Amino acid sequence: MGNREDLLRGAKRCLIERGWAHTTVRDIAQAADVNHAAIGYHFGSKDALLTQALVEAMEELSAELARRGAAESPAERWQALIDTFTTHRQLWVAQLEAAVQAQRSPEVREHLAAGQREGRDGLGGSVPLALLTGLMLQWLVDPANAPSAAEALAELTTFAATIEG
């Protein structure tokens, strides 16, 4: 691998182990075993590198879910996605931290906005994306009381009936 790939690998590792807010240029350089100046050369800034690393990590997770979910029912696909809130918890936390960073960085905002557009396309619209985001927050904050896919889908069905009625 070259320095660019090593930096992405190191940044992904740092996002998982340290989180966005606690990852420094030195942390990434050490994890990648490269000089910290390589970050500026290849990515321009730490935020640009972390953003790219997060985008790639989320794409890898999405591809993993797509491979597993081809033969599953919609409820099983949602449950597999919900399960990632536990199995890939730190990645979801990094996603939330990136959303905060996006308020101060147009570059981060641009990447996250593109990810949201892809999420809407992949999930079937804005409401499923909002459902995913809300479920993620519940699972990160209070996993003992967060709903399963079956519970969330039942509640969504009930809610849809009330607004149709």
Q: What percent of the chain has pLDDT over 70?
A: 97
- Tell whether the model's pLDDT for residue 70 goes beyond 70: no
**Most distant pair of Cα atoms in the chain: their distance:** 63
In the predicted structure, residue 107 carries a pLDDT above the cut 90: no
User: pLDDT-based confidence at 165, cuts 50/70/90?
Assistant: low
Q: How confident is the model at residue 12 (pLDDT cuts 50, 70, 90)?
A: very high
What is the average pLDDT across 122-151?
Answer: 93
Domains of the chain: 3-164 (1.10.357.10)
Q: Which long-range contacts (CB under 8 A, 24 or more apart) does 76-84 make?
A: 76/149, 78/149, 78/152, 78/153, 79/148, 79/149, 79/150, 81/132, 81/149, 82/135, 82/139, 82/148, 82/149, 82/152
Contact status, residue 16 vs residue 91, Cβ threshold 8 Å: yes
Helices (H), the chain: 3-18, 25-32, 37-43, 46-69, 74-87, 89-102, 106-123, 126-141, 149-164
User: For 107-117, what is the mean pLDDT?
Assistant: 88
